[in-house]
Each structure stands twice: as structure tokens, then as C-alpha cells.
Amino acid sequence: MKSRRTLSVFMFALLLCAKSRAPAQVVTTQGGTFTNPLLDNGPDPWVVWWKGFYYYSNSTGTNLTLRKTADITDLRHAQKKAVWIPEPGHPWSKEIWAPELHRWGDKWYIYFAADAGDNASHRIYVVENGNDDPIEGTWIFKGEINDPSNRWAIDATTFEVGGDHYLVWSGWEGANDGEQDLYIAHMSNP
């Protein structure tokens, strides 16, 4: 059953195609036209399996939305809920990208990139929820995640190895738009 679920998640990721900020319902290739059968729009997809359900997220630009379904191939009909909407006027209020749902201990965390309306101010933020079902309960803004350089950062993901947690993100080496590199840091807490 676990390998079937892993295969389903892999196939799901392939079907959702490339990470893109713009909707990509139809892709024309040398072999013809491909229409995404799962969703009309779904940049930066992420999916987690928990207690019999898939929890799916993607970039909306304006909020953190989760979908909950027992059938990953039926995302169009999944329970859908905007679980966190930022208040206007903050550095994390606009251009909300690449939300990733992760379980750490007995709580849920969504890591995401956001800015104040200027791409150069994109940083990584996190919200927390103590409910066992991440689509329920209250999501609380915990703050910005950064390193001492406090540079532009997007597309964070986290993982655990041997009880230690790490964060990986895409960023710029300098203060201006340029080549993107991947960075990794040890995390002391979520």
C-alpha cells in the first residue's frame, strides 16, 4: 500500500507539470496537446499523506489554501479551504508562493514565500496549527525564517535526517536579482 501511495504522489507531481507562477492549463508539445486532468491552475504543488487523506497546496498568490481528499486524482472535488489569509500592509502580505505543509512533532507548519509588493523583499515565513487535521483549527503566524544574510528567499522545503531538521531554499547571493542558488541550513525549531 505504501509503494502504491508513493507511486500515486509521484504520478500526481508529474501530472501537475512544471512550477510556474502563471496558469498552465494546456501545454503544447511535439507529440500534441496536454491538458492537466487534475486542476486548471496549480503552480508550486505540494502534497502530504496523513491518516487516510491527501493534503494538497499550491501557490495562490493571496493566501494559504489546502485541499483535502482521499483520492488524489480528484482534486477538483476535494474539500478546499483558505486556512490563512494575511492582513494587508505587512512584509508577508503579497505574492504568497510555494506553500509547503509539514508535520513536526504534534503540530502542522506551512512554510511559504511572500513579499510586501516588491519581489526583492521576498522572504520565507511560517504559520503553525496544533489541530490534528490541518484543514481545521487555527493557523497562527509565527514569523520570518532567515539566516544572518537576510537575503531574497523563496521555495523553502524542510526535511529530517537522524532527528535533525533542515531547511532548503532558493536565494540570491547578493542583494539584487541575479543567479539563484540553493541554500541549506540546520533548524533549531520549526
What is the reported pLDDT for 29?
A: 66
Indicate the pTM of the whole model. 0.82
Query: What pLDDT does 28 receive?
Result: 64
Q: Tell me how far apart the alpha carbons of residues 153 and 168 are, in angstroms, rounded to a whole number.
A: 10
Domain regions of the chain by residue span: 42-187
Q: Are 66 and 41 in contact (CB under 8 A)?
A: no
Quick one: pLDDT at residue 9?
Answer: 43
Grid look-up 507539470 returns 17
Q: How far apart are CA 189 and CA 44, in angstroms?
A: 24
Q: What is the pLDDT at residue 7?
A: 40
Classify the C-alpha dihedral 87-120-62-166 as positive or negative: negative
Extract the residue ranges of the chain whose pLDDT is less than 50: 1-24
C-alpha cell at 163: 532527528
| Cα–Cα distances in angstroms (integers) from residue 124 to residues 88, 112, 183, in the given order | 17, 6, 13
The count of other CB atoms within 10 Å of the CB of residue 158 is 18
Listed in sequence order, the DSSP H helices in the chain are 2-16
What pLDDT was estimated at residue 26? 59
CATH number given to 42-187? 2.115.10.20
